[in-house]
């Protein structure tokens, strides 16, 4: 690791004449911090252009005088930091963490209390947080609200979802800031648990674009022992203000000094690709806390899942009981319903297919008792996480999977009974260790227990982290669904290999998602960490699996292939059922070939809502893979392959929308073109709405690999 740390204030002063202004290392971003009439304020410029207007900082407390005014600055410290670190897994092999820092130490004279505000300014954005040092007049305190402002400089275009304490599973809306109020009620669609808090409230990560072409992103980093931050818009003055998730009593946080808030982040660039390539959120998190990470491995998996999501099969074993008491229910005496998907023969069928095609793991949902009345009851003792149904032989199936080189992936749906999960967590992880499971998909569907708590409050955020830390003790990787959206904690705890925390592929079986959805997620949800989006659906008409479900997957088959590259995750699922892949084995080859861990990633094209094109280099090889997902309009993509190693030839396999492809009427129309390319090649490929393309680029190691192949040129791939 390369590390350089400079703490001397005189050195930094040479870079900045005004001590209240801190600049990014390249000088493009500047932050102006001032105390005005006792109120902390800041402004942000990019290349001399205002990005964040004068904005106030502070916190409202439950008791005593608020931390919002009456401050004087007693000290300031400046420093610079530059390191290069290697993630356990990721989009790139190395990440540079280079910033200039400014620490303002503040005193509230009327109370003799102290608060610090720390800024870190990078070339791609900045973070700031509140810090509360050890002090005699502030030990334990309760936050009523945090009032961090982000003053917009115009009526920007925004890609947003409604502010909600319990779900992020919404389609995105594209609108002007001034239009949020009139559009929000329509943007709120039904969910198993939801609590919308304001007619102008939105969630982070929030992507914005100015009329001048600046891309701005607002989010947070390192969310630990604190409530999740949303944003509430004053639409008369176009000022966003932080809005924390409350606890069961309505308060926003319970803290003990010394402590600090998460980082509040602002990314800015005049190139959308820079937002996608940013590592700002990861860099603002602490380094890895796990001494041994050798057991953490990226995973490509399949699952007994989609058939239940579509309604073809069921999670439950029997229909004989309206309610279940787990401590006195003998399932062996109950009649099976005949639709239970997690049965021995069906699971073995999936294991065989996954093993034949080189997958790592197989997820099985509905394996454990309790699914008969799991949903909508806020039931405390809902699952025990260790007892299988009579038709699921856990020992036999694990031995069968291991004999074929496959691991089974554990599933822990908690039904949001977090106390029950913590009660059973140790025995559940021990069971996983016993049978060789090394990863778990957990879920938090429904309203939260304890009563009154929310999915994104301080109490639940501590619960999610507790599960991750405990899992690491058992060398278990965690993929949490319905949990709080990530804020870069996967750097500190890299066994957090995935989250859902957004509207995933399952909604394509629940009525569909907007066509531009997957071109927005990389700018928003994925800023804080990878998403278990579960791509790879090849049959778009859900009625083919379940005649009672007329939903349609709003994507082309080529689009589904592209998502394995554009939606970065070290955890990628081939989500469809085996019989649908067997119909399109030539296209399925890309899913088999595409890696889940990378040495390098280059964003070639990007525009939120329209298209995302990215090239990634497989870790430890010289092979590259390209994905392009398009949104609400067709796109002609012209890309240069100048990132390839000079002087070498590559076999390119292009999987793209056919000329007559249509995500509604002809989604399975695709073409596959194979040819030779090198670093001088340029490709032009046309895509349709909700379409895309995927390209494999294999380094030629033997000239015989090029026999019969033509060189691909700039002309459109036909």
Active site (catalytic) residues: 506
The crossing angle, in degrees rounded to 10, of helices 585-593 and 557-566 is 0
Query: Residues 504, 531: contact at Cβ < 8 Å?
Result: yes
DSSP assignment of 330-368: -GGGS---S-BSS-HHHHHHHHHHHHHTT-SEEEE-S-B
User: What whole-number distance in Å separates Cα of residue 646 and Cα of residue 666?
Assistant: 39
Q: CA–CA distance from 232 to each of 43, 145, 200, 243, 496 (Å)? A: 19, 12, 6, 6, 29
Q: Per DSSP, what are the bridge partners of residue 85?
A: 95
> Phi and psi for 538 in degrees, rounded to 5?
-105, -25
Report CA torsion sign: 47, 52, 53, 56: negative
C-alpha angle 555-668-506 in degrees, rounded to nearest 5: 40
Burial class (CB in 10 A: 0-12, 13-18, 19+), 156: buried
The count of other CB atoms within 10 Å of the CB of residue 632 is 15
For strands 477-480 and 439-443, give the pairing.
parallel
Query: CA nearest 228: which of 423, 450, 501, 420?
Result: 501
76 with 103: CB under 8 angstroms? yes
Kindly compute the dihedral angle of the four CA atoms of residues 532, 281, 221, 39, in this order, to the nearest 10 degrees.
-150
Closest by CA to 411, choosing from 459, 341, 352, 494, is: 341
3-state secondary structure of 639: strand
Q: Tell me the C-alpha distance between 694 and 702, whole Å.
A: 24
Q: Which among 60, 155, 160 has a CA at the least distance from the CA of 115?
A: 60
Name every residue whose Cβ is closer than 8 Å to that of residue 227 and which is 6 or more positions away in sequence: 143, 244, 245, 246, 247, 252, 253, 456, 457, 458, 461
Q: Could you tell me which of 150, 169, 229 has the C-alpha nearest to residue 197?
A: 229
Contact criterion met (CB below 8 Å) for 68 and 59: yes
Torsion of CA 46, 48, 49, 55, to 10 degrees: 70
* Structure tokens given for 170: 């919404």
Query: What is the 3-class SS of 358-402, one letter each residue?
Result: CCCEEEECCCECCHHHCCCCCCCCCCCCCCECCCCCHHHHHHHHH
What DSSP element (H or E) covers 593?
Answer: helix 585-593
Q: How far apart are CA 204 and CA 525, in angstroms?
A: 8
Instruction: Tell me which H or E stretch contains 243.
Output: strand 239-244
CA distance 14 to 636: 48
Phi, psi at 712, each rounded to 5°: -80, 140
CA 557 to chain centre: 23
- Which region holds residue 180: left if phi is over 0, alpha if psi is between -120 and 50, else beta? alpha
Reduced to 3 states, what is the DSSP secondary structure of residue 472?
Answer: helix
């Amino acid at each position: 690791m390369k590390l350089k740390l400079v703490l001397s204030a005189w050195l930094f002063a040479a870079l900045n004449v005004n001590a209240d202004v801190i600049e990014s290392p390249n000088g493009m971003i500047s932050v102006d911090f001032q105390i005005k009439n006792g109120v902390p304020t800041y402004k942000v410029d990019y290349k001399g252009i205002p990005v964040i207007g004068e904005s106030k900082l502070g916190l409202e407390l439950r008791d005593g005088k608020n931390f919002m005014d009456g401050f004087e600055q007693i000290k300031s410290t400046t420093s610079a930091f530059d390191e290069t670190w290697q993630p356990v897994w990721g989009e790139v092999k190395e990440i540079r963490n280079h910033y200039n820092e400014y620490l303002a130490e503040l005193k509230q004279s009327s109370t003799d209390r102290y608060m610090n505000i720390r800024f870190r300014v990078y070339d791609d954005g900045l973070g700031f947080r509140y810090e509360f040092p050890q002090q005699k007049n502030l030990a334990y305190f309760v936050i009523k609200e945090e009032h961090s402002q982000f003053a917009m400089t115009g009526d920007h275009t925004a890609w947003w979802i409604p502010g909600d304490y319990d779900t992020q599973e919404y389609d995105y809306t594209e609108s002007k800031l001034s239009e949020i109020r009139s559009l929000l009620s329509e943007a709120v669609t039904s969910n198993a648990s939801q609590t919308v808090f304001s007619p102008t409230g939105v969630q982070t990560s929030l992507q914005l674009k100015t009329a001048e072409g600046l891309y701005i992103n607002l989010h947070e980093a390192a969310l630990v022992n604190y409530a999740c931050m949303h944003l509430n818009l004053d639409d008369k003055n176009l000022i966003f203000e932080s809005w924390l998730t409350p606890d069961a009593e309505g308060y926003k946080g319970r803290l003990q000094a010394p402590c600090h808030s998460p980082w509040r982040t602002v990314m800015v660039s005049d190139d959308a690709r820079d937002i996608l390539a940013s590592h700002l959120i990861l860099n603002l998190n602490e380094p890895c806390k796990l001494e041994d990470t050798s057991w953490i491995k990226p995973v490509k998996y399949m699952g007994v899942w989609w058939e239940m999501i579509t309604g073809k099969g069921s999670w439950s074993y029997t229909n004989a009981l309206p309610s279940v008491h787990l401590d006195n229910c003998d399932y062996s005496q109950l009649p099976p319903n005949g639709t239970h998907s997690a049965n021995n023969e069906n699971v073995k069928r999936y294991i065989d297919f996954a093993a034949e095609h080189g997958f790592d793991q197989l997820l099985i949902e509905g394996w454990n008792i309790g699914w008969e009345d799991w949903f909508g009851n806020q039931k405390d003792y809902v699952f025990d996480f260790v007892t299988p149904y009579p038709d699921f032989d856990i020992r036999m199936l694990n031995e069968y999977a291991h004999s074929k080189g496959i691991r089974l992936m554990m599933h822990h749906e908690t039904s949001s009974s977090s106390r029950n999960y913590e009660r059973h967590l140790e025995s559940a992880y021990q069971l996983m260790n016993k049978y060789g499971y090394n990863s778990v998909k957990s879920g938090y569907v429904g309203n939260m227990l304890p009563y009154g708590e929310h999915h994104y409050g301080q109490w639940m955020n501590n619960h999610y982290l507790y599960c991750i830390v405990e899992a690491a003790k058992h060398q278990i990787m965690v993929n949490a669904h319905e949990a709080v959206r990530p804020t870069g904690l996967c750097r500190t705890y890299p066994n957090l290999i995935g989250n859902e925390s957004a509207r995933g592929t399952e909604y394509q079986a629940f009525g569909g998602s907007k066509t531009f959805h997957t071109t927005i997620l990389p700018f928003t949800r994925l800023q804080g960490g990878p998403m278990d989006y579960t791509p790879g659906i090849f049959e778009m008409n859900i009625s083919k699996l379940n005649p009672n479900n007329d939903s349609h997957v709003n994507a082309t088959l080529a689009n589904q292939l592209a998502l394995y590259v554009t939606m970065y995750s070290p955890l990628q699922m081939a989500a469809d059922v085996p019989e649908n892949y067997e119909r399109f084995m030539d296209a399925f080859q890309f899913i088999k070939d595409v890696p889940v861990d990378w040495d390098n990633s280059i964003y070639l094209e990007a525009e939120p809502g329209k298209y995302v094109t990215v090239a990634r280099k497989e870790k430890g090889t010289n092979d590259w893979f390209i994905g392009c997902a398009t949104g609400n309009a067709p796109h002609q993509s012209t890309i240069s392959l100048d990132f390839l190693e000079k002087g070498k030839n590559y076999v390119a396999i292009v999987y793209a929308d056919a000329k007559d492809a249509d995500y509604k009427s002809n989604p399975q129309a695709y073409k596959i073109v194979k040819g030779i390319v090198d670093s001088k090649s340029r490709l032009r490929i046309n895509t349709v709405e909700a379409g895309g393309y995927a390209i494999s680029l294999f380094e030629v190691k033997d000239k015989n690999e090029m026999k019969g192949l033509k060189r691909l040129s700039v002309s459109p791939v036909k």
